[in-house]
């Protein structure tokens, strides 16, 4: 193995922070007392009902907050400006990724807050 490859592997292993599946919020279908229930898992553990309600309320509040609306507008503005100034395909792709990331975050919050009254 050449030296460049070894250096790259070492740097990637020690400097790049990869997110694992256990670190993200996941909904898992489980059977409890003969019934199928949805459980929320994060950091390798099942969240308590109180933790789930708290997260759902935070997501709902965040979607309604002025800060969130301003952040969305800021990202959209940056994407449009970047698109207008695009010099190549990479620049155009970068704008699409900004919109894509925004969609992911909004959908995450909407999905999480959808059962909150």
**What integer pLDDT is reported at residue 1 of this predicted model?**
59
Banded model confidence at residue 117, pLDDT cuts 50, 70, 90: low
Residue 14 has pLDDT above 80, yes or no: no
Distance CA 86, CA 89 (A): 8
Q: Identify the burial level of 112 via C-beta atoms within 10 angstroms of its C-beta, where 0-12 means exposed, 13-18 middle and 19 or more buried.
A: buried
Mean pLDDT of 16-44: 86
Residue 4 has pLDDT above 90, yes or no: no
Which residue did the predictor score with more confidence, 109 or 17? Answer: 109
**What integer pLDDT is reported at residue 32 of this predicted model?**
84
Model confidence, pTM: 0.76
């Amino acid at each position: 193995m050449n030296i460049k490859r070894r250096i790259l592997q070492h740097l990637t292993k020690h400097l790049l922070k990869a997110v694992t599946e256990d670190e993200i919020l996941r909904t898992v279908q489980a059977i409890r007392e003969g019934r199928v229930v949805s459980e929320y898992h994060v950091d390798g553990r099942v969240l308590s009902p109180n933790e789930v309600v708290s997260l759902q309320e935070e997501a709902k509040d965040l979607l309604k907050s002025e800060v969130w609306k301003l952040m969305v507008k800021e990202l959209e503005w940056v994407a449009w400006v970047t698109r207008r100034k695009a010099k190549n395909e990479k620049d155009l792709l970068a704008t699409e990724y900004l919109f894509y990331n925004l969609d992911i975050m909004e959908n995450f919050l909407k999905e999480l807050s959808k059962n909150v009254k």
